[in-house]
Amino acid sequence: MGISRRKFIGCLGALALGQAAGVPGTAKGAAGKEFSGWPDSLGVLHDITKCIGCRQCESACHRVNNLPAPETAFDDLSVLDQKRRTDADVFTVVNRFDSDRPVFVKTQCNHCLEPACASACFVKAFEKTPEGAVVYDESLCVGCRYCMVACPFNIPAYEYHKALDPRVTKCTLCHPLLKEGKRPGCVDACPAGALISGKRDELIAYAWQRIQTFPERYVSHVYGEHEMGGTSWLYLSGQPFSRMGMREDLGTKSAPELTAGPLSAVPIVVGLWPVLLTGVYAISKRKEKIAAQEKQAAVEQAVVQSRKQAQDQLETLRKKWEQEKQSAINFEVKKALEEAAAKDPEPSQTKEDE
């Protein structure tokens, strides 16, 4: 019993420590609060006001990533009539939003500084690299799709129709090209200058400079600077982002911050529960014992009492019996005397005579 108890506590301890170690996190993307992004990491600035909706970036993306050709060719702009999202073999899409004049927005993974997908993945299949790209390791993925639930931008897609080796797919920010010092395929292909790549810090400074220089051209908001803790992709726009389906209610809390509370409760539960429960057990055991003792005492008392009662009864019975016996004897004696007297009255008189 002793050994197994120690073992059991050891087990719980490992659970608590494992979790506790997970809270501060490593700087690999599934990170805790302190992590404020890799220094000098790269990003892309998408100036929505400059985009002409030519779909050249989509075409380049397919080429670079060896994706299968789409059903409608890239120069067929009729697809812009419908709203599309990223898909298993489509890492980026351009959508058109009509207001006073058409506005085009490119969508892809935003490569968050503290990615929800990486924080959510229970096998660490996602990693935020120092270059800025959030990359996915197919060899670890179990396919639980919690990353898709977690991504606030609805980016990752799943290969639902593969039976044996389905993957999560999304934009890689052309991580291999970045490592060679090259630019992402889409940025290279954009003919309108709507995509600029560079160091994220510099892009933010540049974006604000643009806003200040052309205040009538832009809304005063660099999308992605703070959204969900900040993203490597940044956006400038001439009208509120929510009009183009980009959520402005995401808040600035990063994903790890959102789940830090429940994660930090783990060591508390693991530490406190066993102690409390053992206490409760001890109390209930003791209650039981006391109850048993009381019961026994009560029984004993009852026994004593009933014994005494019995004795008393016996005593009165004896007394009564004795009384009865006595009176019977008396009666008999009296009777005998009377009989004797009746039979022979003389001797008494003789005595008197003497």
195 touches ligand SF4 (CB under 6 A): no
Q: Is 143 in the site for ligand SF4 (CB under 6 A)?
A: yes
Query: Interface mask (CB under 8 A) for other proteins, residues 65-104, using x and -?
Result: --------------------xxxx----------------
| Least Cβ distance, residue 74 to other proteins (angstroms) | 21
Give start and end residues of each alpha helix (H) in 180-254: 185-189, 200-213
Given 5, 63, 182, 295, the residue binding other proteins (CB under 8 A): 5
Nearer to other proteins, 16 or 211 (CB): 16
DSSP 8-state symbol, 352: H
Question: ∠ at Cα 32 (27, 36), nearest 5°?
Answer: 65
* 120 contributes a contact to ligand SF4 by CB under 6 A: yes
Residue among 44, 174, 50, 58 at smallest CA distance from 103: 50
Question: What does 30 interact with, of other proteins, ligand SF4, none (CB < 5 to 8 A by kind)?
Answer: other proteins
* CA dihedral for 188, 192, 193, 195, sign (positive or negative): negative
Residue among 48, 61, 64, 121 that touches other proteins (CB under 8 A): 121
By a kind-dependent CB cut-off of 5 to 8 A, residue 134 interacts, out of other proteins, ligand SF4, none, with: ligand SF4
Site size with ligand SF4, rule: CB under 6 A: 26
Cβ(33)–Cβ(256) under 8 Å?
Answer: yes
Question: If binding is defined by CB under 6 A, does position 144 make contact with ligand SF4?
Answer: yes
Q: Does 32 bind ligand SF4 (CB under 6 A)?
A: no
Give the number of other CB atoms < 10 A from CB of residue 153.
23
The least CB distance from residue 161 to other proteins, in Å, is: 4
Of ligand SF4, other proteins, none, which one sits near residue 177, judging by CB under 5 to 8 A according to partner kind? none
**With binding defined as CB under 8 A, does residue 210 bind other proteins?**
no
299 vs 339: CA distance, rounded Å: 58
Q: Please, what is the minimum distance in Å from the beta carbon of residue 325 to other proteins?
A: 54
Taking CB atoms within 8 Å and a gap of at least 24, the contacts of 118-121 are 118/28, 118/29, 118/30, 118/147, 119/29, 119/30, 119/31, 119/150, 119/254, 119/255, 119/256, 119/259, 120/146, 120/147, 120/149, 120/150, 120/255, 121/30, 121/146, 121/147
The stretch near ligand SF4 (CB under 6 A) out of 95-103, 138-146, 210-218, 273-281 is 138-146
Return the number of other C-beta atoms located less than 10 Å from residue 254's C-beta.
25
Interface with ligand SF4, residue 109, by CB under 6 A? yes
Rounded Cα distance, 97 and 103, in Å: 5
What residues line the site for ligand SF4 (CB under 6 A)?
109-112, 115-117, 120-121, 123, 125-126, 134, 141-147, 151, 153, 155-156, 168, 170
